[in-house]
Structure 1
Amino acid sequence: MAHNGETNFIGGRWQGDPRSEIRPVHSPIDGSRIGLMSWSSRQAAAEAVSAARAAQPAWGKASIWDRAKAMRRIGEAIAARRADLAALLTLEQGKPYAEAFFEVGKSADGFHLAADLVKYLEGNTIPTEDPGKRVMTFYRPRGVYAVVTPWNFPVNIPVEYIAPGLAAGNAVVWTPAPTTALVAAALARAVEEADLPPGILNLVTGAGAVVGDEIVSNPGTNAVGFTGSAATGKQISLRAAGKPQLMELGGNGPVVILEDADLDRAAAATASGCFVNAGQVCSSSERILVHRKVYADFAERMAAAARAVVLGDPREDGVTMGPLNNAAVAAKVAEHVQDALGRGARAIVGGKRPDDMPSPLYFEPTVLTRVAREALINTEETFGPVAPLLAIDSDEEAFEVARDNRYGLVSSVFTQDIDRAFRYVEAMPTGMVNINDTSNYWELHIPFGGVSGKDSGMGRVGGRHALTAMCDLKTATFTVG
């Protein structure tokens, strides 16, 4: 943990920023001070870009096998620190330790996956009209990647960009969300342990509007990777105009429960999608469309699942949900719930912040019925532990409600009719459709991202899809004899 506030890692050295201040970091669990971070300046971010530019050419020319070995060393270093990283992740982000331990494990897997896949980053030979010509394609690193990441999965989401980016031969300048700067620094220390050349990975902490803006707009960065809100994604797109951009942005389902669904299975999977990480997941089950014939039965099952959630200090055994990460998201969740209630919804479980918790960031697991289509909780991304149930009467109505939303990331459908399930796969305006499973189902190698015309991002993270996205495809032509 960075007790002295030196949370910047630039050119292979840990340092603060003498031009800016050191700020305390507080745990969302109880508001206690847990460390210090550098609230860095644009100059520090620019220095990190310069360090990356100096280091990248040699790294890009290194053997793919050598880069793969380095990725494997990083994965092993993370695995060796798994318990400590998970404990810090829980303390700073607020998720239960079991969830944090799982996340750190997946981040180690992410580096191992990049080590494996980069060895098979193969181009093609292309037939030509001219019989005397030969054409081949191959992948080359883009150069320096600016990576900006959020606080909800502050260990694994960065790895979704850093691992394939480094494996492909890029250098990375990374700005994490300020509310999880300490665990970001701890992750960077694990990378440092793998003995990469100085300047290949650089970390700069501080305000996104300052250091994040600097790295995405700086002429020294060649491309951008970002996970976060749709609004911030649009700002970054403008500031990074002309650069390749890989973005995974917000989501808002939906999850569709049809009248022939296995309701026990559907409720268990949907509740997981609502309450894991206190609902702070871009693929959360944030709006749930339930066929009117099974609406009451499904609502009862969701209420039982919500009552089974144990809200409390996420470091304690038996606690299954901790606080929200920060005041802004807590305020938004409260606003969305109050808006829904004001439009006629009913909270059959929860609906408010509890009075007996050690910080104001806790929110009760909540199930809302009779939710209106115009409610904010249906039209916007809530990012909290809320299950809003909307009634539908037909597939056509489900498609209409699904399309009437600016997001298009992940949806789920629960039905026992395989033909109907695949009709939903074809019709749902989302980049991923899960059949009879939680909207949160995903594995590291699976393509993940939004659809065109929506505000859920561009490109695909996940496995080889991120790897190829973080490369330039180069074409070579030559004449035979």
Structure 2
Amino acid sequence: MKEYKALINGEFINNGEWLEVLDPFKNEVAGKVTALKAEDIEHAFKSARAAQESWEKTDLVKRIELLHNFRNVLLKNKDEIAAVMTSEISKSLKDSLTEVVRTVELIDFTLEEAKRMEPLSMTGEGMGAKNKIGIFSRVAKGVILAISPFNYPFNLALAKIVPALVMGNTVVFKPATAGSLVGALIGELSIQANFPKGIFNVVTGRGREIGDIITTNKEIDMISFTGSVSIGNNIKEKGSSKDLVLELGGKDPALVLDDLDLHNYAKQIVDGAFGYSGQRCTAIKRVITTNKIADKLVPLLIDNINKLTVGSPYENKDITPVIDQKSADFIKGLVDDAKTKKAKILVGNKFEKNLIWPTLIDNVTLDMKVAWEEPFGPILPIIRIEDINEMIKISNDSNFGLQASVFCKDISLAIQVSKKIKTGTVNINGKSQRGPDCFPFLGIKDSGQGVQGVKESLISMTRYHGIVINY
């Protein structure tokens, strides 16, 4: 078991207090991180503020060079990062390594895009203002608070950290408790990359003790948060004076409108529903289709689900334990509620502590919790509706609005339906997913606010500064 220390102003902090992080599969301590106190948090933000002006004045080319060195350090240590990730969130070793490599590619794209954040120049002649030239440049907002979730502790951390730093901001980074080992390891690797003191700070500890202290600090200029709806809403309420980008939950529907390519539809749906045991905000969380189509689709879904392996992340199984027992109990409650209300459990419904076999639930009705609540686990409900307009209505009646999928070979109909679905993104003939990382990524309603993606993150972490030349 390794101890990982918080990082503040270029120094590792050991205050004698530790927070243990459990291995969800082995149910033993995977490692521990520094449990910071209020005074430590204040020190982190003041360090970030003190370093920000000098960092922003550093030439863009030099900032890019430093972050490219950081990228190289991350890639060199990819196997260690993946191993630590697997130990604390039960993501398979194969998928953990994929996340690391994918993130390195994201960093490359971000650094290239930063070079193209060129000033906007314009004249006032269109408004009758002659002899004026305006030059409007993107400048840093200041101190960014980046908060990452447990399910993608590397990718969704660096997707915030790198855009912030390359544009001249400084960062205070708070990983989720499960994910803190990876988060603190990122801090260690930043020291290997010779980051200047104060530009990147990693704060760890018990959320119930320091959560509000972190999100309400007066030094914050912007918060970029990925996590639960409840915490996101709390940040909105208490940090409302800050610029916010929030990525929260989802109840992503898959609408199957024809039976012309059901083998492909079934594969896409199962991949989308059960990847990383369904612990993805963009996971397909309900299938909505007609009785006629469902009768043909369900056997294909079962065939694909039965091919999924269940067990240890260290053996690269497809379905691994959900993050903790509380999550498993919540998921079981959704299944039990559906079963009590006469839904049909077609496959799965097997629980061993927090390991849940992939579960397919048919004949789900709108009075069942699983029709509306986000399980964040490997269960998939099927809702049978005969009318397309009613399918759209059910999709839109959710308090979430992240993504959706429409499966239909009639592209005209698919586009018409997609335009009526109230989500950030609709995928036609493909599973819902975050990537590719260069695409804008957003949710509406309880799924969040603001836009992420490479260029969009660079924009959100900067503001215009204008100079008008009169001649």
Query: Same fold by TM (over 0.5)?
Result: yes
State the match for 1:279 in structure 2. 278
Conserved 8 A contact 2:106-2:437: yes
Conserved 8 A contact 1:27-1:33: yes
Q: After the TM superposition, which residues 210-289 of structure 1 pair with which residues of structure 2 at under 5 Å, given as runs?
A: 210-289=209-288
Amino acid at match of 2:330: K
State the match for 2:448 in structure 1. 457
Amino acid at match of 1:376: K
Amino acid at match of 2:230: A
Instruction: Tell me whether 1:186 sits opposite 2:182 in the alignment.
Output: no
Conserved 8 A contact 1:145-1:172: yes
CA distance in 2, matches of 1:16, 1:370: 54
Deviation at 1:210, TM superposition (A): 3.3
Identity of aligned residues (%): 28
Deviation at 1:211, TM superposition (A): 2.9
Change (3 A) 1:41 1:136: same
Deviation at 1:269, TM superposition (A): 0.7
Conserved 8 A contact 2:19-2:205: no
Instruction: Tell me whether 1:476 sits opposite 2:467 in the alignment.
Output: yes
The partner residue of 2:117 within 102, 121, 132 is 121
State the match for 2:14 in structure 1. 16
The partner residue of 1:325 within 317, 323, 339 is 323
Q: After the TM superposition, which residues 373-384 of structure 1 pair with which residues of structure 2 at under 5 Å, given as runs?
A: 373-384=366-377
Conserved 8 A contact 1:135-1:478: yes
Point out the more displaced range, 411-420 or 238-247.
Answer: 238-247
CA distance in 2, matches of 1:26, 1:426: 43
SS at match of 1:30: coil
Conserved 8 A contact 2:19-2:206: no
Amino acid at match of 1:175: K
SS at match of 2:451: coil
Amino acid at match of 2:329: A
Amino acid at match of 1:29: F
CA offsets 1:193-238 (integer angstroms, 9 cap, x no match): 2111111110111122433322221001111000011111110011
State the match for 1:71 in structure 2. 67
Change (3 A) 1:81 1:32: same
CA distance in 2, matches of 1:364, 1:165: 39
Amino acid at match of 1:22: W
CA offsets 1:50-100 (integer angstroms, 9 cap, x no match): 111111111111111111112211211111111111111111110111111
Q: Unaligned regions of 5+ residues in structure 1, if any?
A: 355-359
CA offsets 1:131-172 (integer angstroms, 9 cap, x no match): 022212110000001111110111111111111111111101
CA distance in 2, matches of 1:123, 1:292: 55
How many residue pairs get aligned? The number is: 468
SS at match of 2:30: strand
Q: After the TM superposition, which residues 88-107 of structure 1 pair with which residues of structure 2 at under 5 Å, given as runs?
A: 88-107=84-103
Instruction: Tell me whether 1:111 sits opposite 2:107 in the alignment.
Output: yes
CA distance in 2, matches of 1:38, 1:137: 43
CA distance in 2, matches of 1:119, 1:211: 37
CA distance in 2, matches of 1:65, 1:463: 18
State the match for 1:132 in structure 2. 131
State the match for 2:334 in structure 1. 336
Deviation at 1:441, TM superposition (A): 5.4
CA distance in 2, matches of 1:300, 1:180: 37
Deviation at 1:112, TM superposition (A): 1.5
Deviation at 1:374, TM superposition (A): 2.6
Q: Which has the higher strand share?
A: 2
Amino acid at match of 2:7: F
CA distance in 2, matches of 1:81, 1:321: 26
Q: Give runs of ≥4 in structure 1 deviating > 6 Å.
A: none
State the match for 1:204 in structure 2. 203
SS at match of 2:400: coil
Deviation at 1:187, TM superposition (A): 2.0
Amino acid at match of 2:326: A
CA distance in 1, matches of 2:58, 2:418: 42
Q: TM-score, normalised by structure 1?
A: 0.94
CA distance in 1, matches of 2:280, 2:36: 28
State the match for 1:36 in structure 2. 32
CA distance in 1, matches of 2:15, 2:417: 52
State the match for 1:45 in structure 2. 41
Change (3 A) 1:416 1:222: same
SS at match of 2:313: coil
State the match for 1:357 in structure 2. none
Change (3 A) 1:344 1:185: same
The partner residue of 1:366 within 359, 363, 381 is 359
**Cα RMSD for the two superposed structures:** 1.4
State the match for 1:314 in structure 2. 313
CA distance in 1, matches of 2:367, 2:59: 55
Point out the more displaced range, 232-241 or 120-129.
Answer: 120-129
Conserved 8 A contact 1:125-1:135: yes
Deviation at 1:190, TM superposition (A): 2.1
Q: TM-score, normalised by structure 2?
A: 0.96
Conserved 8 A contact 2:370-2:381: yes
CA distance in 1, matches of 2:35, 2:334: 31
Change (3 A) 1:415 1:201: same
Deviation at 1:32, TM superposition (A): 1.8
Deviation at 1:261, TM superposition (A): 4.3
CA offsets 1:31-58 (integer angstroms, 9 cap, x no match): 1222222222222111110111111111
CA offsets 1:112-136 (integer angstroms, 9 cap, x no match): 2221111001231233121022212
Deviation at 1:366, TM superposition (A): 0.5
Instruction: Tell me whether 1:403 sits opposite 2:396 in the alignment.
Output: yes
Conserved 8 A contact 1:330-1:363: yes
Change (3 A) 1:221 1:41: same
Change (3 A) 1:10 1:249: same
Amino acid at match of 1:41: K
Conserved 8 A contact 2:289-2:383: yes
SS at match of 1:120: coil
Amino acid at match of 2:238: R
Q: Unaligned regions of 5+ residues in structure 2, if any?
A: none
Deviation at 1:353, TM superposition (A): 0.6
Change (3 A) 1:441 1:182: closer
Amino acid at match of 2:385: I
